[in-house]
């Protein structure tokens, strides 16, 4: 049995446990990097092709494992911490990947999971499978989008604004997820805005 690889994050997500996959071999990520979306400056792609190359192998194993078949109950990881992140690296690959992450969340009802995704197409099909302990966050693909609204099926929208943005968005993400936890709670805060780094 190949276990799911669980990461302990650094940087902005320092100390948070996460289930990641490989951005560099993800067809959705690779396609988006060729567009005008924020993905063209993807931090994950940069890390995994430079100082975090060592993570490609375990993340790629997760990509293969999570997207190829539905995991058995015995294979689902168990978390103790209060919050977990899904897809800090790598986007959801397909429906099987989405269902496996839903099953992992359901297997850990005592944990609140922050799950960022741009895959509105998959969410529209499978939203009914997302357990109540998941905070599903739409990761806006474009920079400086005015007047954000939360898309159907999501609980929050996360957007990025350039330093000289004329849009006037209120920046309310300042880093340090493990203490902030704004995105890891059903708290009525629907719009999260960060300054582009």
Distances (CA, A) of 156 to 119, 127, 137, 159: 14, 14, 5, 10
Residue 181 in contact with ligand SF4, rule: CB under 6 A: yes
Residue 15 in contact with ligand SF4, rule: CB under 6 A: no
Residue 136 in contact with ligand SF4, rule: CB under 6 A: no
Residue 180 in contact with ligand SF4, rule: CB under 6 A: yes
In the chain, helix, strand, coil percent, each to 5? Answer: 35, 15, 50
Residue 196 in contact with ligand SF4, rule: CB under 6 A: no
Residue 143 in contact with ligand SF4, rule: CB under 6 A: no
Closer by beta carbon to ligand SF4, 138 or else 184: 184
Does residue 23 sit in helix, strand or coil? Answer: helix
Residue 185 in contact with ligand SF4, rule: CB under 6 A: no
Residue 133 · residue 114 · CB < 8 Å: no
Residue 177 in contact with ligand SF4, rule: CB under 6 A: yes
Stretch binding ligand SF4 (CB under 6 A), from 58-66, 89-97, 100-108, 179-187: 179-187
Distances (CA, A) of 153 to 70, 103, 116, 157: 23, 18, 13, 11
- Shortest spacing between CB 191 and ligand SF4, in angstroms: 10
Place of tokens 């994950």: 44
- Contact footprint for ligand SF4 (CB under 6 A): 173, 175-177, 180-184, 192
């Amino acid at each position: 049995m190949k276990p799911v690889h669980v990461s302990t994050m650094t940087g902005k997500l320092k100390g948070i446990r996460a289930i990641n996959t490989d951005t560099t071999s993800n067809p959705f990520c690779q396609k988006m990097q060729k567009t005008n979306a924020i993905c063209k400056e993807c931090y994950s792609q940069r890390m995994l092709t430079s100082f975090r190359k060592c993570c490609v192998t375990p993340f790629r194993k997760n990509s293969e494992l999570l997207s190829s078949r539905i995991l058995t109950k015995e294979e689902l990881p168990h978390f103790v911490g209060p919050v977990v992140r899904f897809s800090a690296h790598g986007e959801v690959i397909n429906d099987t990947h989405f269902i496996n992450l839903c099953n992992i969340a359901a297997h850990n009802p005592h944990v609140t999971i922050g799950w960022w995704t741009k895959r509105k197409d998959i969410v529209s099909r499978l939203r009914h499978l997302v357990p109540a302990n998941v905070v599903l966050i739409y990761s806006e693909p474009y920079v400086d989008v005015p007047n954000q609204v939360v898309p159907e099926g999501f609980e929050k929208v996360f957007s990025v604004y350039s330093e000289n943005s004329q849009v006037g968005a209120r920046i309310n993400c300042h880093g340090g997820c493990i203490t902030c936890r704004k995105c890891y709670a059903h708290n009525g805060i629907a719009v999260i805005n960060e300054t582009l780094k």
